[in-house]
Amino acid sequence: MLDSYAVIGNPIAHSKSPLIHTAFAQQTHQPVHYVAILAALDDFKSTVESFRHQGGKGLNVTVPFKLEAFQLSTRLTERATIAQAVNTLKFDGNEILGDNTDGAGLVRDIELNLGIPIATKRILLLGAGGAARGVILPLLQQKPSLLAIANRTPHKAETLQQQFSAYGNIIAGDFIHFSGDQFDIIINATSASLHDALPELPIGIFAQTILAYDMMYSREPTRFLKFAQLHGTRQIADGVGMLVEQAAESFFVWRNVRPQTKPVIAMLKSPM
């Protein structure tokens, strides 16, 4: 008998999660069966309930349901409570545990896979949507000297600054607000790359940057990563490592077993 897990979203056909979790299950010899489920936009809750009543053990939740998953959870981890978004559900009797592993995935990718400690670094986080919100606390827990949040609509960045100011040194503004400033790590958590667009960044922002990181992943470097490279950043990375690391963290939440991520990242990066 295999334990049943899935990723739920809309759209979902593009999801690499079934590939990743199947690789984890094979590698760790865990009895896991993992599929992708498309939920209608107005039918998230009943799709989850029907999966659960059929014996499903857990779900990964992706766009656009992370807030609904947060609301559906009967118990929340601290990181999910603070992110106000859930990407991992674990079903245990009557309990629905909601967790958020996105931030842990990003931190592990930057620190372990890319070898760049976050402590004492000056970080610029671009974007103030769901992905940005989910990574702020895990980034601050690594004790950067500064976390600047820049967003096209500045009041959303300022709201995040107020919400997280108790956890570290945060400033916020629009992109131009940071003209003339320098950062060690610049993370693109906007959805601009999905539309092959580039946030309107100040000239010179990458001059001292060690790492430019785009949460979006694609076969070719995104416009953001190409721009960063052209303007002086030393290293670029896309979000494939974060994707695999957040999946590994979910797998650990469900199975209490930590899979090896490097071979799975290599598999996703290799030409299919």
Which residues bind to ligand NDP, rule: CB under 6 A? 63, 102, 105, 127-132, 151-153, 156, 189-194, 197, 199, 215-217, 239, 242-243, 246
Amino acid at 61: V
Q: Could you say which of 66, 143, 156, 226 is catalytic?
A: 66
Q: How far apart are CA 246 and CA 91, in angstroms?
A: 18
Amino acid at 182: Q
> What is the smallest separation between the CB atom of 145 and ligand NDP, expressed in angstroms?
24
Could you tell me what percentage of the chain is helix, strand and coil, using 3-state DSSP and rounding each to the nearest 5?
40, 20, 40
Nearer to ligand NDP by Cβ, of 74 and 179: the residue is 179
Active site residue 66: yes
Which tokens belong to 262? 């490097």
> What is the smallest separation between the CB atom of 50 and ligand NDP, expressed in angstroms?
25
Nearer to ligand NDP by Cβ, of 3 and 267: the residue is 267
> What is the smallest separation between the CB atom of 53 and ligand NDP, expressed in angstroms?
28
To the nearest 10°, the Cα dihedral for 44, 45, 48, 49? -150
Nearer to ligand NDP by Cβ, of 86 and 189: the residue is 189
Sign of the dihedral through C-alpha 83, 200, 119, 239: positive
Q: Closest Cα to residue 188, out of 141, 145, 233, 158?
A: 233
Number of residue whose CB is nearest ligand NDP? 129
Reported in sequence order, the residue ranges of the chain that DSSP labels E, i.e. its strands, are 3-9, 32-38, 58-61, 75-76, 88-92, 95-99, 122-126, 146-150, 170-173, 185-188, 211-214, 235-238
Nearer to ligand NDP by Cβ, of 96 and 149: the residue is 149
> What is the smallest separation between the CB atom of 217 and ligand NDP, expressed in angstroms?
6
Known catalytic residues are: 66
